[in-house]
Chain A
Amino acid sequence: MAGSTDGGGLLARLLPSRSRGNLQDQIYGLILLVFGLSLPVLFLFIVLRIGSESQLAIEAFGWGFITSQEWNPVLREFGALPFIFGTVVSSFLALVIAVPLSVGLAIFLTELAPRWLAGPIAFATELLAAIPSVVYGLWGIFVMVPWLRFTIQEPLSRRFGDTIPFLEGPAYGFSMMSGAVILSIMIIPFISAVTREVLDAVPREQREASLALGATRWEMTWQVALPYAMPGIIGGAILGLGRALGETMAITMVIGNRPDIAASLFAPGYTMASVLANEFTEATGALYLSALMEIALILFGITIIVNIMAQFLVWRVAKQGGR
């Protein structure tokens, strides 16, 4: 490795294992290096651009932008908290709904379902991922929201609304709950597909060994297969969370788009991606545009934080090595 004085000095430092060898390999390494760097460079450009565009809003509002609840384009007062709240809460609720469903579905498909049933169900689940989000949104407006309103929200809020703040009325249908439900339907295919793959990858010997030791099917699944597959399942959940955080069209059609922070699941909310999609086209005035850019920057930041946390979680679980 001391050969940094010869021809490919930079290359040698970047790709020590490829620096020696014939010319062909060096060119090959160089091309792959360009491919490899293209994404981080793109990432950097996006961050720089969004950052510079949001400079005006950052200077005008400072940290108050993140803690302010006021979003008033008429008075040029902008605060992102209701949108941050809406994005985080709707995505989190979607995960709460989607993860048990997806994992259950995957266990059923890999462990229990007969072959003739598993194929069609897996196919149908993956088909869900192919539906455009605007179609989900339309279905949400015309089918899901009225159903949620009349069969779930109104009875619940009438019965428990006065005592439990989460179920407080009035129930419009278009609400944080509707947003979370539609998000969960949209991310189930991702989480269940990944979970199914990782459960499939659990070595046959492991299962057989535990069964041979007298484990029931339940014990085999929960004590052997799932712990083994846990890092992959977490990874799948994070994939779903990433999609939920960034989802725009479907959720904006059902969440009610009101920038308020309400305890009730039946109250309308607003997400960061939705406000960008809604207001960007008609925004005029430098400060208004800049505030929207800063929301984009914050959304970017939240996504990065979530991903770092996910990496950490996967690393921890993998290190513990199951049970």
Chain B
Amino acid sequence: MADRRIRGRIPGGWLTVARLGILVSVLLALSACWSTDRDSSAEGDGDSDSVGRLTITGAGATFPFPIYSRWFSIYSRDHPVRINYQSIGSGGGIRQMIEGTVDFGATDAPLTEEDLDRIPGTLSIPTVLGAVVLTYNLPDMARSLRLDGEIIAGIFLGEITRWRDPRILAMNPDVEIPDRDIIPVHRSDGSGTTYVFTDYLNEISPAWRTRVGRGNAVRWPTGLGARGNEGVTGQVRQSPGAIGYVEQVFARQNNLPMADVRNRRGQFVAPSIEATTRAADGLAERIPDDDDFRLSIVDADTEGAYPIAAWTYLLIAPHYRDCNRGRAILEVIRWALLERADDVRDLNYAPLTLEIRVRALNALKTVTCGTDRRPIFDPDRDFMAEAIGEVEAPELEIEIDGEPEPESDPVPPSELEAGADPDGRQY
């Protein structure tokens, strides 16, 4: 009888064994397929695939992923370079740069000194601007809610807990505001969005600076945490009286209500691409001479600027051992910043001003390659003249190991003409 009881405790034992057997055989079959696949394609060397392309890997921020993937896929269509960008998060991008497993990284929050000590000389190159907006769940508002930094800090510090707080009412005299508890919602996962938002509050509010500070993840004094922009949006939508912060592109795509925020000049600014670009206006003078772009642009003192904005960076090594690799990376950045600026607006990102883009490219002139540590870009190159069409951009030679690159493009011409180019632009 004891025997039977034991059998009772492990029901379906034989069934499990049978399932395991099936699983193992499926796995074996799969691995067999996999290995033949690899055998047939692994003829070139590790870095270039069978059509003779150079594969470059990058990893990092999720926020600029749509624009990066668009740039990189268009670029690889008529260049022998394939760029593999993995949006694993800013922190992951920095970590992979430190471990040296990627050719370039990407981050929303500027590199800290601690990180920079571990990858000395790494350049932070701004590419596009992003903004963080406040979205809320209040019924039937005739017009957007108006807030300023002090009130936002008060809400997320837990000091302002009711919507009919006199400070909020005073700022919104002509709208009906319901008598409800405020439920602040923040990101629970570490995020560049959180960095920008807390950077702004850190700048505006002394109380925030002493009690919370800024970072990809912080110790929130109050409120609910939700995962991702979509999580914050979901919680705000489900909870009357909630307010949360999300990335502007996301809010725009989902038609979320967005609060107007008072900027340094005292104007209430609705989040928009123009207002975000304006946050970086006149910033060129503030960039130090050593071209360290890691500066905060929140609460910009500019007419019409939206105050919760930041730029996102590519992380570029100061030296590439393989000149082809270095050239390809720098060239794609130049191409994207100077020739593909319109893509940025299409995807709801805010573009950098031309002045700053040229400044960023000039900073890249210090990047070297090869054993003789030659600069990749000609130090005398005039990017401004190239941008306004005075000078033709010189070609950078990229040699592919193994078989020579065929003259004809790997993509059939018909596809290029029809090519997924929604705007009918030439490239």
A22 close to chain B: CB less than 8 A = no
B226 cross-chain contacts in A, Cβ below 8 A:
174, 253, 257
B239 & A173 in contact (Cβ 8 Å cutoff): yes
CB pair B4–A201 under 8 Å, yes or no, is: yes
Closest-by-CB residue of A relative to B8 is: A201
Task: Determine whether A172 belongs to the interface, using a CB cutoff of 8 Å to chain B.
Answer: yes
Residues A232 and B9 in contact in the complex (CB < 8 Å), given A173-B239, A282-B191: yes
Q: Which residues of B contact A274 (CB under 8 A)?
A: 188
Beta-carbon contact of B235 and A74 below 8 Å: no
In the bound complex, what is the Cα–Cα distance between A277 and B188 (angstroms)?
A: 10
Contact B9 A235 (CB under 8 A): yes
Q: Kindly report which residue of chain A lies nearest to residue B186, judged by CB atoms.
A: A257
Among candidates B89, B92, B188, B219, residue contacting A73 with C-beta atoms closer than 8 Å: B219
**B168 located at the interface, meaning its Cβ lies under 8 Å from any Cβ of chain A in the complex:** no
Contact across chains for B219 and A198 when beta carbons are under 8 A apart: no
How big is chain B's contact interface, by range?
A: 35 or more
Residue of B nearest to A173 (CB): B239
Most buried by A among B115, B218, B227: B227
Q: Which 6 A-B pairs have the closest CB atoms?
A: A282-B190, A257-B225, A197-B11, A201-B8, A257-B188, A281-B89
Interface string of B235-246 (1 = CB under 8 A from A): 100110000000
B89 touches A142 (CB 8 A): no
Tell me if A179 is interfacial: C-beta within 8 Å of chain B.
no
The closest CB in chain A to the CB of B225 belongs to: A257
Interface residues in B1-15 by Cβ distance below 8 A to A read: 2, 4-5, 7-9, 11-12
In the assembled complex, the Cα of A34 lies from the Cα of B367 at a distance in Å of 51
Q: How far is the CB of B84 from chain A (nearest CB, A)?
A: 18
Partner pick for B5 among A231, A270, A277, A284, CB 8 A cutoff = A231
A-B contact pairs, 25 of them (CB 8 A): A73-B218, A75-B213, A141-B231, A141-B238, A145-B238, A146-B238, A172-B183, A174-B226, A174-B235, A194-B11, A201-B8, A201-B11, A202-B8, A232-B11, A252-B227, A253-B226, A253-B227, A257-B225, A278-B188, A280-B190, A281-B92, A282-B90, A282-B92, A282-B189, A284-B94
Interface string of B253-264 (1 = CB under 8 A from A): 000000000000
B220 engages A284 (CB within 8 Å): no
Collect the chain B residues with CB atoms within 8 Å of residue A203's CB. 4
In the complex, the answer to whether A201 meets B7 with C-beta atoms within 8 Å is yes
| Residue of A74, A145, A228, A232 ringed by the most chain B CB atoms within 10 A | A74
Within the complex, the shortest CB–CB distance from A203 to chain B, in Å, comes to 6
Q: Which of B206-250 contact A (CB under 8 A)?
A: 212-220, 223-227, 231, 234-235, 238-239
For the complex formed, measure the closest distance between the CB of A135 and the CB atoms of chain B, giving whole angstroms. Answer: 14
Of the residues A146, A278, A321, contact of B190 by C-beta under 8 Å: A278
Contact in complex: B215, A142 (CB < 8 Å)? no
> Would you call A285 and B11 a contact (CB within 8 A)?
no
Which chain A residues border B238 with CB–CB below 8 Å? 141-142, 145-146, 173
Q: Does A305 sit within 8 A of B, measured CB to CB?
A: no
Hey, which chain B residues are within 8 Å of A70, CB to CB?
219
The A-contacting residues of B in range 164-189, CB under 8 angstroms, are 181, 183, 188-189
Could you say which residues of chain B place their CB within 8 Å of the CB of A202? 8
Determine whether A318 belongs to the interface, using a CB cutoff of 8 Å to chain B: yes
Question: With A73-B217, A74-B212 given, is the CB distance from A258 to B190 under 8 Å?
Answer: no
Nearest chain B CB to A185 CB, angstrom units:
18
Are B88 and A72 closer than 8 Å at their CB atoms? no
Contact, CB under 8 Å: B189 / A278: yes
The answer to whether the Cβ of B95 comes within 8 Å of any Cβ in the partner chain is yes
Residues in B neighbouring A300, C-beta threshold 8 A: none
Contact of A279 with B225 in the complex, beta carbons under 8 Å: no
| B residues in contact with A277, CB < 8 Å | 189, 227
Residues of A contacting B181 in the complex (Cβ-Cβ under 8 angstroms): 170
When C-beta atoms are compared, the residue in chain A nearest to B2 turns out to be A321
Shortest A80–chain B CB gap in Å is 14
Across the two chains, which residue of chain B brings its CB closest to A70? Answer: B219
Decide yes or no: A252 and B188 within 8 Å by CB, A202-B8, A268-B224 being known contacts. yes
Task: Known contacts A145-B238, A253-B231; decide if A74 and B218 are in contact (CB<8 Å).
Answer: yes
Q: Cβ of B112 < 8 Å from any Cβ of A?
A: yes
Measured between alpha carbons, how far is A268 from B185 in the docked complex, in Å? 12
| A31 CB, nearest partner CB in chain B, Å | 13
- A198-B217 in contact (CB<8A): no
A72 touches which of B2, B112, B189, B218 (Cβ 8 Å): B218
Say yes or no: A285-B190 contact (C-beta < 8 A), given A198-B8, A253-B231, A279-B217.
no
A161 at the interface (CB under 8 A from B): no
Contact B95 A72 (CB under 8 A): no
User: Closest CB of chain A to B107's CB: distance in Å?
Assistant: 9
Give min CB distance, A260 to chain B, whole Å.
10
Asked whether, in the complex, the Cβ of B189 is within 8 Å of the Cβ of A279, the reply is yes
Contacts of B234 on A, CB cut-off 8 Å? 138, 141-142
